[in-house]
Structures are given as structure tokens and as C-alpha cells.
Structure 1
Amino acid sequence: MTSLYSSNINRTMQQRFSFHQFLILTACLSLCLAFKADEIQRFQQQANANGTLSFLVVGDWGRRALFNQSKVAEQMGIIGEKSKANFVISTGDNFYDDGLTGPNDPAFNESFTNIYTAPSLKIPWLVVFWATMTIGGDALAQVKADGRWFCWRPLFIIHTKVAEFFFVDTTPFVDDYFTNPKEHVYDWRGVLPREDYLSKLLKDLDATLKNSSAKWKIVVGHHTIRSAGHHGNTTDLVTHLLPILKANKIDFYINGHDHCLQHISDPDSEIEFFTSGGGSKAWRGDIKPWDPKELKLYYDGQGFLSAKINKTTADIQFYDVSGNVLHNWSKSKEDSVMHRKSMLGRKALMY
């Protein structure tokens, strides 16, 4: 398993070392991906010295600083510094309007490198894959790194001491992209035959979730599963992916796709659905009716999500484009070690 970080003795030294490490690592991974693209990529991520893991989530952002993208980036840099963020999750739709045309497309720098320039954002960016492109373009150009950019498909996993993150390529699940693509063009290299691709992806995800002993299990995809936004529920994911997530009792599903900020609690499981798709252009007033007992937040503007997790607690905050807190939410879990100590104490008292 590859480590994303060196020793966590000094945060600044750690970041400097990590850039050098990333350049070497990603060069090796480029070769690995060329020949073993169907294998699960696994990486180790260290938490902060106090045992807390901190990260930001942003999606649907890549518009060359337009539609307040640069303002969202500025606030991310501020919150990233305050929270000592370990990494950033990108939930897809990374380069508008039609992806990258190739590995040297200037849009990569114009929409990513030159936008997220705050020191606190020069950390790993963990990116879910999205297959749309222009005619003659190259969707697989996203599967690369510039020193902090990590994007793989169909599945990659980030291991930490307090949580595991499972990044899933959700694009091939959507039937409409194959049967009714309209004006869009999709890059299906490595996906066809589709049935085999999805079967293996679901099998691998199910197996890795079952084998995970993580305190928190978090799945990340581009497409919505539950959403009151423009796209609504993605029925193909509800049919094929959601049963696996429920069976393995994951904690959170994080996505983009709908250009909003959103939190929905599932009524039939313990899963919390978080949408962070407000990285640039938002869709004002585009909301479907939803049970207010389940819909904890719906914000039709720009912003991002911030999370802090330790072994017993997850704290989630949504921020708008001005850095205002829109929504706070927390969940606690009993620490099994503390529970065992408590039980031993009670037994001792009994005797």
C-alpha cells in the first residue's frame, strides 16, 4: 500500500516532502495504470497529530475562475488552513464544458492549478472520474497527477486510522449516457463491455467494504443517489449501488452532479447523503419537494463542505461562497476500546 504522506512530525516539511514524493509516485502510477487499469489502487493517508482527519469537498468547479470559482477557492484556502486539512475530495465535473482534450490541455492549469493556489490547498486532491469530453478529446487525460492530483478508475481506496474512503466511477451506471447521450460525447475506453465492467466494479466494492474494519466507511461518487436537486435521484445507482452500500452499512455517500449543497438522511438506513456540487456555477431555485425530516440542508448557491473525523465523532460543516456556515451536523460512535474498558469496570464492580 502506497503512503500519500511521509512522517507527520512537521506539517510544512511534510507538504514539501509530499510534493517530491507525489512526482515520483505518480510517474510510477502512470505506468501502472497503463497496464493494470482494472486493479484497485490503495493508498495510506496519515491523520493530524491529534488523531483527527480533516478534509474539504468541492465539486462541479472547473470553469477557469468564472461563476465565483475563484471566490470559492479563496474560502476553501481559509478554512483549509484553520482546519489543517489533510486532503481535498473533488466530486467530479472537473473541467467544463467538455473535459480535457489531452494531457497538455491548458484548461488543467486554467481551471485547477492556477485557481487553488492557497498553501493549505497544496495537499492531495482525490478526484472521482468523469467521462464526458469533446469530440476528439481525451477523458482519460484526467487520470494523471500534477503533484497533488490523484484520479483513478474504476475504484480506488484511501486508508486512514479512523476512516476508509472508496472512490467509485459512477458514470457507466447511467443508462441514458449509452441510450440517449444527446449532444454529449463519452469516452468509454476501458469500460466496454459495460456489463463486465460494472459487474467487476460492484463485486470489488462489495468485497472491499466487507473486508473493511474502518470505524467510518465513506463512499465517494460523482452522481447523486438521493437528491432534491435538478438531477434528482439517479435511479440506476439506487438499483445497483445503493443495496451494496446499505448491506455494508456505510456511513456517508458524498457526491456532486447537482450544483448545490445538500444533506439528506436516508430513512431506511444509517447512510447520510452529502452533495457538494457548488464549486462554481449553481442552479438557483431548482429544487424538488422532499420530506423536511430527511432534507437537512438544501442550498442553491456556491460553496463547499468541510469535515473533521476522529474515532468517535464526525463533524460536517457546509460553507457558502463568502465563508458563512450554512449547516452544522455531527455524528458520534462509541469507541470500542472505551466500551470494553467500561464493561470491564462494571464487571469488576459486580465482584
Structure 2
Amino acid sequence: MSQMLEEDFTEEGGELNLQHDELQEHNNNDTIIKQLSPSSEYIDLNTSTLKPLHRYLLIGFVTFLVLIFFGSLMGVIIKNRKKLRQSGLTFPQPTYTPSDDKLHFLVIGDFGRENDAQRKVANSMGEYCKENDGCDFVVGVGDNIYQSGVESIYDEQFKTKFEDIYNHKALEDLDFYMILGNHDYRNDVKAQILYTQLSKRWKMLDFFYEINKKSRLGGFDLNLLFTDTNPFHFLFFLDPLTNKTVINEQAKRIPEQMEWLKSKLRKPKGDDQWTIVAGHSPVYSASQHYDSQPLIQNFEPLFREYRVPLYLCGHDHQLGWMANREIINSREQTQYIISGAAGGSIYRTIKYNPNLFNYYVGEGGFYSVEVQHDFIFVIALNENGEEIYKFRIDKQ
């Protein structure tokens, strides 16, 4: 490139080169050959060397513009960062009341990488459960095996990217309730469902399914609805590695899945029952994937109608907390947590989204969710198991 620039300069700036040569020659003789224009040049009295004044003026002007630009940019960033963290639903110190009658679970997503970040998060999960009165189960919100799922039910990756990773003593007896992510829709998709028959901990009962849990002392029930969001997204069909047979099959089941979801949410709920929904893709996103219009159109109306308090998801490789600000503090509002950093937080860029309440883009992390009779307490934790932010959802 330097050669090209030099050639261009010689052709277009030959006259300038000539002037420079003349000046250099006469400078060597300590003489000045040009009449100086006060508006364009001056004499440096210290060196008696000619310097173009307009060059310095231009540099100063450009520097001024750059400073204004970056000053304005920092103002926007600071303003937006404040917006990202302000909310009528954020609590600097949300009230937490301990109870023996609870259900405590962790949420992880986008994790099956067999890398240091996944191992570090897995160990922190175990330590967190050990130090916080134990955990009852784990929810995995998809992209369980990178990069392309598994080839069979006997694929070695089940061992190297799951069984051998989550081997902390506090995790070894926990059920991991799993759903499919877009990376899991490659190769043998159904093998991840069938692996449930071989594993003591891996639980994926179908493409979409329900789990019912009773609290430790039996004071309330928790219904967990695991959905398959992959067939809702057109871009997943364009992925050349996606198993087209399976995703087309599941696309045809979208009406069935929606009717199933509606029927589960429609069931009468008393004061002693909670319902939480999980899926791989976010409804709202502050990452490169943007908001999901198919889920906004299909899921959110049901969430609002049936007052779903919490939706768990991944896909964005970060920890994010979202909610629809148009219905802030409404009984219809659902909180959305994005837990896509259990294999490392790869997406470092946060796009401003008015529905974003808080986020984390460190080296990795996970969520703790504790359900009690009267509230749900959510904590975002980094790769070291350190608290980042927390919030509380009260029963309406």
C-alpha cells in the first residue's frame, strides 16, 4: 500500500515535490526564495524554517471536531447507560425474607463448549448451591452442545460437554431440565431428547413439555413450561447446518405448541401456584439478535393475558434483564431474563433497548431463581458466583 500511495502522490503532487526540493536546496544555502503570505505561512524564528500555517489551523480544527464528537458520544453513552439501569421495577436492595418453604434453581444457557469459561461457571454454580441452602434443579435454556449438536444418542459430547463439566458435588444429584437451541437443531436433534433415557440428570422430555414441582414444605406448586422457539425464526431455516427435516416438522407443530401453551396458561391458578415459561430465544433483546417479532406477536399476548411473571431464555451470550416498559408496574407485565453466558459472554456489545433493565457482559455467568409462596427472587451472578444485580417479583 505504501508503494501505491507513493505512486499516486508522485503523479498528482509532482509540483509540490518540486517546490519541496527547491526549498530544501535553498535551505541548505540558508536562503529564502519565496515571498511569504501572512495568511498561509510564517517563519519559525527558532529554526528559521518555513511552516505552513494553514496546516496547523487544519490540525487544530480537526482536533476540535474530534473532541466535540467524542464528548457528545460519551454523553450519549452515559445517558443511555443511565437509561439502561433506571426502572420503576428495579430495587437497589430488594427485600428478601428467608423461608424453608421454597424452590431454588439455577438458569444456564449457551453453555456446551467444553472451555475454561464453562468449567468456571459450572464450579461457581456448585459453590453457590453449597453455600445457599442447596439447589433443587437446574434449567438449561438451549445451545447445550456447540457447535452443531450431537450425531447420536451415544455421542461423546454428552460426556465431555455436560456430564464431566457439571460434576461438582452440589450438582451431581440435580435434574437438569433442558430445551433445544438453534445449535442443537443441527445433526441428530432427537438424540438430545432420547439421551434422557441414558442420563441420570439430563431431562428433555420432548420438544416442548411441562414440569410440576412442589415446594420443599409443600406450601405451593410451581409449573414450568418448556417451549421450542426455534421453528418461529425464519433465519434458523436458512442455516445450512440446520436439520431441515426436523425443523420443518416442528414448524408444522407451531399451532399445536401454541394451543398447548395456551391451555397450560389458561388453567385456574390459586394463591398457591406459580407458572414460569422457558424458551431458547429472547422476546426482547439488547444484543445483535434484536427483539423477536414472532415471539412478541405469539408469546407476549398470552403472557399478558395470563399474567406470566417470568420468562427464562438464552441465545444472547450475556446476562440480561428485560421487560416491556409500556406496561411497567402493571399486573400484566412479564420479566424476561436472558441467561446465555454459561459458556462465556461472547456478545460484548449492548444495543440500547428501552426495555432493557440491566445486563452483564463479563466472562460468563448464570442466574439464581428462588421461588417462595409470595415472591420470586432473581439474582444475576458472574463467572465467579459474585452477585451482579437482583430483583424481586411479587405475587399479584
Same fold (TM over 0.5): yes
CA shift at 1:192, angstroms? 2.2
Change (3 A) 1:190 1:153: farther
CA distance in 2, matches of 1:76, 1:314: 19
Deviations 1:77-132 (A, max 9, x none): 01122231100000100000000011111111000000000122120000012354
* CA distance, structure 2, for counterparts of residue 67 and residue 230 of structure 1: 24
Matched, 1:168 2:227: yes
- Is this contact kept in 1: 2:144–2:184, CA < 8 A? no
2:331 matches 1:331 = no
State the aligned residue count: 280
* Aligned counterpart in structure 1 of residue 161 of structure 2, from 96, 99, 111: 111
Determine which of 253, 266, 280 is the counterpart of 2:311: 253
Q: Note closer, same or farther for the CA distance 1:290–1:134 as it changes in structure 2 (3 Å cut).
A: closer
TM-score (norm 1): 0.75
> Contact 1:92 / 1:129 at 8 angstroms: preserved in 2?
yes
Which residue of 116, 121, 136 corresponds with 2:171?
121
Residue from 238, 241, 262 that aligns with 1:206: 262
AA matched with 2:168: A
2:65 paired residue number:
none
Question: For the residues of structure 2 that align with 1:263 and 1:188, how far apart are their CA atoms?
Answer: 34
Distance (whole Å) between structure 2 residues aligned to residue 331 and residue 190 of structure 1: 35
**Which residue matches 2:278?**
220
**Residue of structure 2 in register with 1:189 after alignment:** 246
Partner of 2:33: none
Other structure's SS at 2:256 match: helix
Q: Name the SS for the 1:244 alignment partner.
A: helix
The one-character-per-residue Cα deviations of 1:293-348 (angstroms, maximum 9, x if unpaired) are: x42211112100001111102111111011210011112226xxxxxxxxxxxxxx
Structure 2: gaps (5+ residues): 1-97, 214-219
Classify 1:156/1:290 alpha carbon distance in 2 versus 1 (closer, same or farther; 3 Å).
same
Higher helix share: 2
**Code of the aligned partner of 1:78:** E
| SS of aligned partner of 2:206 | coil
Asked whether the 8 Å contact 2:344–2:365 carries over to 1, the reply is no
Q: Distance in 2 between matches of 1:63 and 1:190?
A: 23
Q: Give 1:168 deviation, angstroms.
A: 0.3
Deviation, 1:153, is 2.8
Native 8 Å contact 1:162 1:216 kept in 2: yes
| Contact 1:125-1:149 within 8 A present in 2 as well | yes
Q: Equivalent residue for 1:278?
A: 341
The separation in 2 between residues aligned to 1:106 and 1:211, in whole angstroms, is: 41
Q: Which amino acid aligns with 1:140?
A: K
Q: 1:156 and 1:201 mapped to 2: Cα distance?
A: 9
Distance 1:193 1:58 in 2: 24
Cα 1:288–1:164 shift into 2, 3 Å: same
The yes-or-no answer on 1:155 pairing with 2:212 is no
Percent identity between the two aligned chains: 25
1: CA distance between counterparts of 2:246 and 2:295? 21
Instruction: Assess if the C-alpha contact under 8 Å between 2:316 and 2:347 holds in 1.
Output: no
Q: Give the direction of change, closer, same or farther, for the CA distance of 1:212–1:92 in structure 2 (3 Å limit).
A: farther
Q: CA deviation at 1:54?
A: 0.3
Q: Say if 2:143 and 2:184, in contact at 8 Å, map to a contact too.
A: no
Give the conservation status (yes or no) of the 8 Å contact 1:162–1:309. no
SS state at 1:121 partner: coil
1:284 shift after superposition: 4.4
Q: 1:125 to 1:221 in 2, by over 3 A?
A: same
Matched, 1:229 2:293: no
Give 1:67 deviation, angstroms.
4.6
Map 1:301-312; keep pairs closer than 5 Å. 301=362, 302-312=364-374
SS in 1 for 2:286: coil
Which residues of structure 1 form unaligned runs of 5+?
A: 1-47, 335-351
Cα deviation digits, residues 230-285 of structure 1 (max 9, x gap)? 21211211122222222211010110000000111222341000000101132243
Query: How far apart in 2 are the matches of 1:134 and 1:317?
Result: 30
Structure 1 pair 227–131 and aligned structure 2 pair: CA distance change class (3 A) = closer
Aligned to 2:356: 295
Structural mapping, 1:32-181, within 5 Å: 50-64=100-114, 66-83=115-132, 84-122=134-172, 123-130=174-181, 132=183, 137-143=187-193, 144-145=195-196, 146-160=199-213, 161-178=220-237, 180-181=238-239
Q: Partner letter of residue 249 of structure 1?
A: R
Given the superposition, is the C-alpha separation of residues 193 and 164 from structure 1 closer, same or farther in structure 2, using an over 3 Å criterion? closer
Please tell me whether the aligned partners of residues 219 and 254 of structure 1 are also in contact (alpha carbons under 8 angstroms): yes
C-alpha distance in 2, partners of 1:220/1:105? 26
Q: Secondary structure at the match of 2:170?
A: helix
Letter in 1 for 2:383: V
Separation in 1, partners of 2:372, 2:318:
27
Distance 1:206 1:280 in 2: 32
